[in-house]
């Protein structure tokens, strides 16, 4: 459970940064940002694996770049579920996917092996 909370916090930071950097990504309040992070975590846990399997041939042909579109679709799906979080179009979704992915990558590099160090 702690891992999900940490991942939700990292995702919230990534979505907040995406809203500041990427035009077309916005949220109305801090509560909607936190809700978007939690819903995105649930969507990534259940819907994303199915989408990855379904789009595997296209992902192979594009050398993995199609995963950006899948990640953007998951962010767009989250925005559809939540009224206070807005993603205007595919390019805004791809930009948000890149920003949240980079933030998650940095957080994983900084804090990823915390249990191994203790």
Q: Count Cβ neighbours within 10 Å for each residue of 67-80 and write b for 16 or more, e otherwise.
A: bbbbbbbbbbbbbe
Each domain of the chain, given as residue ranges in start order, spans 27-101
Query: What region does 89 belong to: left with phi over 0, alpha with psi -120 to 50, or beta?
Result: left
Q: Residue 46 pLDDT > 90, yes or no?
A: yes
Q: Residue 55: helix, strand or coil by DSSP? A: coil
C-alpha 91/C-alpha 84 separation (Å) is 19
| 81, 87 contact by CB (below 8 A) | no
Beta bridge partners of 85: 27
**What pLDDT is attached to residue 29?**
95
Q: What is the pLDDT of residues 61-90, one digit of tens each?
A: 999 999 999 999 999 999 999 999 999 999
Q: What is the pLDDT of residues 104-118, one digit of tens each?
A: 999 999 987 665 555
pTM value > 0.85 = yes
C-alpha 45/C-alpha 78 separation (Å) is 12
DSSP string, 6-25: HHHHHHHHHHHHHHHHSTTE
């Amino acid at each position: 459970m702690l891992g999900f909370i940490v991942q939700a916090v990292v995702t919230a930071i990534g979505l907040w940064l995406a809203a500041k950097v990427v035009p077309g990504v916005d949220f109305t309040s801090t509560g909607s940002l936190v809700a978007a992070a939690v819903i995105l975590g649930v969507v990534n846990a259940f819907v994303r694996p199915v989408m990855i399997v379904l789009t595997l041939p296209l992902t192979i042909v594009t050398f993995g770049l199609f995963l950006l579109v899948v990640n953007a679709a998951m962010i767009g799906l989250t925005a559809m579920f939540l009224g206070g979080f807005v993603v205007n179009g595919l390019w805004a979704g791809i930009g948000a996917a890149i920003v949240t992915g980079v933030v998650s990558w940095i957080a994983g590099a900084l804090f990823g092996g915390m249990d191994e160090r203790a």
